[in-house]
Chain A
Amino acid sequence: MITKKIAFLLFTFLLLISCEKDYLNIDQISNLNYNGNVTKIEFLGEYTKADAIQFLGLVNLQHKVETTCDFSLYRFQYKTHNFENTEIIVSGLMGIPNSKNIKGLLSWQHGTNSFRGGSISTPSPDEGIGLASLFAGNEYLFIAPDYIGLGTSYETQPYYHTKSTVNSVIDFLKIGEIVLNKLTNNQNNKLFLTGFSQGGGASVATQRELETTNPTNLQLAGTASISGAFNLRGISLQHTINHHTLNSVIFMCLLSNIYAQVDNQPLASFIKEPYASEIPNWFDGSKNIHFLESNLPTKVSDLFKNDFYNDLDNNVTNWFTLALDKNEMYQWKPVNKLRFYYGTKDETVIPQEAIQAYNYMNNLGGNVELKPFGPFNHDQSAIEILPEIQKWFNGL
């Protein structure tokens, strides 16, 4: 009898040992052939399925989510190209599930962030770890680019500069594809794109690029854009300049900082002092939201010089509004599934953004769906909508 018990205990012990296994460790990941596009890989930590359940429980999600496996986190540094088409190094987070049944590659595009300490590749429970719990903890190979200017990159952040943002996403997708092929023995090439706010737009722009010139062998299964802005001149600008909040001012500072650089316009030619002198320093990733709150005005009219502000308010065409036009993300026809999710009480990125983009694409016969999710504001909408996105992706 005792022998049987001991045998049972030993069997259980061996079973448990066999369960705790890295399907791909850092040595194996680092020895994959990235064609010279990856410069550095760092191990950032590992979390169990139990951790994932608790992280997601703490967020107080209103809808059921699935967590099915442990996962490990890595920071990748890789090559991409900035707006001048110069090769630069950027970073991103990768969450690798400890599972044999990988559902595909999922790329998360983050929302507006001007503080390097909050970069997604510096994993926090609010974003990097939370999202990895939701997706890597549910057997998706999870990647999240920091974009240019955050993480380990010290370039000017190309905020809503669509081409360079998409570059940094697609270059990370290519790396994700190599890891995915290794994990699945080339048996799964499904791609899922999702993102919030700025990242909602970046996800849609990435889908457009993939459907135009897909430089990967990934097959896009679906894109879920949460509270994204797509019509920068027609909707975003007009809403922002009359919406007196810190978020509006930060939005305009980030846009001004990069568009002025791209179009060789001195900041002092259209922004009031001291902001014209300080914006490059305040938006280099070193200042957190509390600093910006203390130092920035809450009215866009206090940021821009009067003539320039009046031109924007009257939708006069100038280099800035042309740049906004150039970086739109909605004037195309999606072939693969694209869903626009938004909170109906969102006053930061108003629902009209999703509604107009949907109408435009739908009129072209695009594969789009509009998903108003409920009376949520901007920040609430991501938390409320993410479980629905996991459920949708799991069904694709």
Chain B
Amino acid sequence: MKKIIVLIGILIFTTHLGFAQTESIGNGTSQNQKIGFSIGYYGYKINNVGLQLGIEKYLATTNNFQIIWSSYFQFYTQKEKQTAIALNTRIGQRYNTNFGLILETHLGLGIQETFYTIKGYDLTSNPIREISSKINKTSAMPNISLGIGYDFSKKTKLPLVYYLRTNISWLYPDINLVFNTTANLEMGVIYKPIFKKK
């Protein structure tokens, strides 16, 4: 499954590479950028490894701002505790400085399927015996993200944005039917093909 996702990401990336503009943008935000494709690390509670693949649609662009609709497929695993997949849709804004630094905020609502492992031990046997069971739960996941990044296309020919986001998610319901707040890390690149004007 992971391999398929990575392959799709690479396919999208390479397919659109041909449309990339070969000159740097300079000041302001390019008006020719309509969509972006993202691939990155999703760190549940920072260090539990995951992957996120996303697509961004630029709804409005001014000189330094972009209003962004984005949708992410996210996957993570927390060793011996849980594995989850999520579909997360966001609306956000990105401020582009003229020297490449970007600042962004996103507000999202996702749906997550979590596969919990209830790990336990039977201590009556010698040696003690692991007794684990699995429960899965579908949860809503409102979330907010704050991020910084660097737009390489300002100073180079690369149509790439590097981003680093902190994300706060509220998952409800969790395994005990309460909400679970987590601080997560998102780190990756966005490929923003610049379509040539006809």
Contacts and interface: CB of A to CB of B under 8 A. Distances in A.
B164 interface: yes
Contacts of A43: 81, 118-120
A318 interface: no
B27 to A, nearest CB: 19
A287 B183 CA distance: 39
B87 interface: no
Contacts of B178: 51, 55, 124-125, 129
Contact of B122 (A26, A40, A51): A40
Interface stretch (A31-39, A183-191, A380-388): A31-39
Interface in B20-58: 45-47
B185 A13 contact: yes
Contacts of A123: 176
Interface string A25-61: 0100011001000111111111110110011000000
Interface in A54-110: 54-55, 73
B46 A16 contact: yes
A47 B122 contact: no
A50 B46 CA distance: 15
B176 A17 contact: no
Given A31-B128, A41-B121, A124 B176 contact: yes
Given A50-B183, A51-B179, A51-B180, A17 B46 contact: yes
B174 interface: yes
A123 B119 CA distance: 16
B4 interface: no
B180 A47 contact: yes
A307 interface: no
B175 interface: yes
Given A48-B181, A50-B181, A34 B174 contact: no
A316 interface: no
Contact of A40 (B46, B80, B120, B150): B120
B182 interface: yes
Contacts of B47: 16-17, 20
A289 interface: no
A73 B178 CA distance: 13
B180 A40 contact: no
Contacts, number: 73
A19 B80 CA distance: 19
B166 to A, nearest CB: 9
Contact of B175 (A16, A34, A45): A45
A20 B45 contact: yes
A45 B174 contact: yes
Contacts of B183: 48, 50
B15 interface: no
Interface string B168-189: 1000001111111111010000
A20 B120 contact: no
A296 B42 CA distance: 54
B119 A38 contact: no
A50 B145 CA distance: 16
A245 to B, nearest CB: 29
28 contacts: A2-B150, A16-B47, A20-B47, A26-B80, A26-B119, A26-B120, A26-B121, A30-B128, A38-B123, A39-B124, A40-B120, A40-B123, A42-B118, A42-B119, A43-B118, A45-B174, A45-B176, A45-B180, A48-B182, A48-B183, A50-B168, A51-B179, A51-B181, A55-B178, A73-B176, A124-B178, A125-B178, A129-B178
Interface of A: 2, 9, 13, 16-17, 19-20, 26, 30-31, 34, 38-48, 50-51, 54-55, 73, 123-125, 129
Interface of B: 45-47, 80-81, 118-124, 128, 131, 150, 164, 168, 174-183, 185
